[in-house]
Chains A and B, each alone.
Chain A
């Protein structure tokens, strides 16, 4: 048995090293004073300073952030409704098509989703730009929210909702006062996931973008194609830092939320 556990420690250590080493190297290089990758010129904030003057990059960052905010919020609403429909409403007409449409975007190759949405926007004559990317990202990310919220809906006690309704609470009020607080952590996690997926997306944004809506991934991609640049290392490091901070904040939030909610949620079960 001991042999097996050494094997386990080794595979976890190697796996995690494989996952983290490239990102750590990227972060270190972003502080390299030298322009050349092969030369270590000492620690420096030079590339961050140059980034602050890059108007086009800052503009893209702002557009990307706004798109992510809008689409993550819309995806959270649509995804949560879809999760409730799938978990709580049992059999309704068109359920098979519905669940197919909910899960398909999870695995659909992005080139297909991007192409089809672009052709829709062209066919309907909608001007491409900020809103078309936001719509595309909402469609892409809503299914991720559904999966996260759905697992939470499945694990909490349905009798809580039923008790409220038996006591004469109308369905929408039951949802606002019982269901929503219970699924809030999952909803927050789903929103975060949608937000980061939107920040990250290159392929679908490239298809659905228009004049004046060059997102950060589109700009970074066009720069990368020309080769490695220290400024790109710097902006990537900033993005990694933002995401890491966001996740730490979110997990702390969920922890406090659970501690605060833990006791009242158990009361009805005891009764």
Chain B
């Protein structure tokens, strides 16, 4: 029965529609980015040289390929502006993923260990902020962190800081707060999913055999929760590296992440080939974590299917 389903025109259509859409609007655009990253800058106007002429056939293709140049890549590699922002992005993403783990794991653990009837409500409360606008959530922090904002008012009232109060906005601290705040649900959800599925009798067995709770946590619970931890970490780390809005609104001019560099290159400098090369290098940096994430996704899918 299943075999005959696969061959019907209906089944073919089910695959074809999303396939064609994703190929046209996800795959092909990347090929275009790749091509333009290898093109020369004519004065900020497309079409960029070389132009591939399909009518010229094989010879045309050869001429096209030989005219491509890695010039934009050598330019990126030679300028500290780009290398520096790649490194800064990786650093910020790594540190904030760690912070997210430190805050997200206890939160997920707390929700998973809550009484059964409370769990759906608590789960909902963790997910809910994800539904409100990203931009609004960042903006809410500007309200709090600015010099006359609520944070400084509270700190001054408690005499923790003296006049004049410190500037929180335009610092790395603000960027970390913004990132942790925005990505927390992405970290909590996968960890909660694995903790919730976990067989509690394993922990009890460890306790019965005289294992102290912290050791049982470290030796039994944590290894079992590892798939969720890894999925959460990747789900946060990958997009954070390319983050634009948070460092742009909360960060200072000395913190330039690669997403901002790309944005400036594209919108301010109008240098599309260099912007494309920046994007290709960024994608290369992220290809390993993305593949690992996809592998986990498909494995999870295969496991829950049986």
Contacts and interface: CB of A to CB of B under 8 A. Distances in A.
Nearest to B185: A19
Contact of B14 (A23, A85, A228): A85
B234 A107 contact: yes
Given A202-B134, A232-B139, A109 B239 contact: yes
B184 A107 contact: no
A271 interface: no
A119 B153 CA distance: 47
Interface in B105-148: 106-107, 109-111, 113-114, 122, 124-126, 128-129, 131-137, 139-144, 146, 148
Contacts of A206: 267
Given A38-B153, A139-B22, A224 B133 contact: no
Contacts of A77: 17
B224 interface: no
B75 interface: no
Interface residues of A, number: 95
Interface stretch (A44-52, A86-94, A258-266): A86-94
B238 A107 contact: yes
A7 B15 CA distance: 49
A109 B133 contact: no
B139 A26 contact: yes
Interface in B264-306: 266-267, 272, 275-276, 279, 282-283, 286, 290, 293-294, 297-298, 301, 304-305
A38 B110 CA distance: 36
B21 A142 contact: yes
Interface in A52-105: 77-79, 81-82, 84-90, 92, 94, 98-105
B90 to A, nearest CB: 13
B58 interface: no
Contacts of B136: 23, 26, 220, 236, 239-240
Determine chain A's interface SS by DSSP, over half rule.
helix
A177 interface: no
B235 A4 contact: no
B61 interface: no
Contacts of A221: 135, 245
A223 to B, nearest CB: 10
A203 B142 CA distance: 19
B201 interface: no
Contacts of A12: 107, 110-111, 114, 122
A65 to B, nearest CB: 13
Contacts of A251: 124
Contact of A172 (B10, B36, B111, B184): B10
Given A1-B213, A171-B5, A171-B8, A104 B26 contact: yes
B184 A19 contact: yes
B225 to A, nearest CB: 15
Contacts of A105: 26
Query: What 3 A-B pairs have minimum CB-CB distances, sorted nearest first?
Result: A109-B242, A116-B29, A11-B106
8 contacts: A19-B184, A89-B14, A101-B22, A108-B290, A110-B239, A139-B26, A243-B132, A244-B132
